[in-house]
Amino acid sequence: MSTTPTRQHYDVVIIGGATSGSSIAWHLATNPEFKGNVLVVERDPSLAYSATKASNNCMRQQFATAINVQIAQYAAEFVKRYGAEFSPDPRDVPFTPSIRSFGYLYLSDSSEFTDVLRKDRDVQAGLGAGTRILSRADVQRRYPFMYTDDLDGASLNVVDEGAFNAWGMAQWLRRTAQASGAEYIANEVTGIEVDEANDRVRSIQLRTGEQITVDTVVNAAGTRAAPVSEMAGIADLPVEARRRYTYIFSVDDSLPQDLPLTIDPSGVHLRSYGANDYLVGCPPIGPDTAVDVDDFSFAEDIWEEKILPVITRRVVRRFASARVTDSWVGHYEFNTFDQNAIVGPHCTLRNFLFCVGFSGHGSQQAPACGRAVAELIVYGRFRTLDLTVLSYDRIVENRPLTERAVI
């Protein structure tokens, strides 16, 4: 990938070329009504340390806010429609090209939390999702290998919930966006010039020295979104990097059926990975606080101290032989304000748009949010799914739209 732009002016510059940035580029470049040109600036084209690469490849509709259910429904439609064309991820070879719909299972250890799941189910059902509330006995009957004595109930949906090839989707979006005319460069934005008299971004500065004039800039920089915003004089973007751990493990005696993405009350989540192995992940031990965007160290012995005790208790006997075969640390681009995406223009700097703050849901929310940002650029408004509730304005006006269902 070249480091040098071919033009001195672009209609749209997207800062960040992972899933969100590439979704925006794809939705622009493949729209016949868009007549402009697009530059995507990505500091690391390998995406080796991006949230995209570290994704747990999850797909669900079990959210607490209606807009996130609708965003997830478009994601499922998008993945099913285009899934057969996604590039394979060597790490995810066992995945089907579309959605592996073994479901999401939220376990509850109290009647109070079961009531919360029930309220969420009502929101989801109102939008057509197939979530069901299970009793403890229902969980035991459906998953007889699980320890359930400490449970009150659960919620489960097996329709368009499970796993998909998020890395393959990102690669496919980038490749087809480029084939459709979007220009990608391996470079970094180091400065943003603002025309304060007219409240507009005038140009961007690249690490290699080029000054590029722009009509529209989109911040899709993931965990680096706040520093990018600061270049434009926006100092209060509530997005930070937070560490998440993932392990792949095998066992001597595999389960007789797929394990749904199971969210344990401890905060550990686990699911089937390939045909005979499993994925498990969790936040850090103790406070879930910000980390440096370049810190991908294993700061704690998460496997021994947090994960192994949970999985050997929850999956009786069969996971006692668990052996780690792979592991990685990734970062959420965590929105500390309300754990929801920030999509659309800044309240005063109107040609500076956001597509950030996904708090761990970026891979599945990128199709709908990328489409939405592209619609704002082409038509000046949302045309399919109205994402106004996710605007930056809510932060300035202190109107949080809190998403409780964050793993």
Domains of the chain by start residue, with CATH = 1-100+163-238+336-407 (3.50.50.60), 101-162+241-331 (3.30.9.10)
Residue pLDDT, tens place only, 352-380: 999 999 998 989 999 999 999 999 999 99
Query: Per-residue pLDDT averaged across 49-58, rounded?
Result: 86
Residue scoring higher pLDDT (185 or 99): 185
pLDDT at 90 over 60: no
| H helices present in 16-165, as ranges | 19-29, 66-82, 111-126, 136-142
Query: E strands of 25-98, at which residues?
Result: 38-42, 58-59
Residue pLDDT, tens place only, 102-135: 999 999 999 999 999 999 999 999 999 999 999 9
b/e per residue 212-248 (b: at least 16 CB within 10 A) = bebebbbbbbbbbbbebbebbebeebbbbbbbbbbbb
Q: What pLDDT band is residue 94 in, cutting at 50, 70 and 90? A: very low
- Tell me what pLDDT residue 82 has: 76
The answer to whether 163 touches 102, Cβ cutoff 8 Å, is yes
215 membership: H or E segment, kind and range: strand 211-219
- Tell me what pLDDT residue 95 has: 41
Residue pLDDT, tens place only, 282-298: 999 989 999 999 999 98
- Tell me what pLDDT residue 84 has: 67
Query: Per-residue pLDDT averaged across 272-291, rounded?
Result: 92
- Tell me what pLDDT residue 98 has: 78
Q: What pLDDT band is residue 327 in, cutting at 50, 70 and 90? A: very high
CB atoms within 10 A of CB 356: 30
pTM of the model as a whole: 0.94
Q: What pLDDT band is residue 274 in, cutting at 50, 70 and 90? A: confident
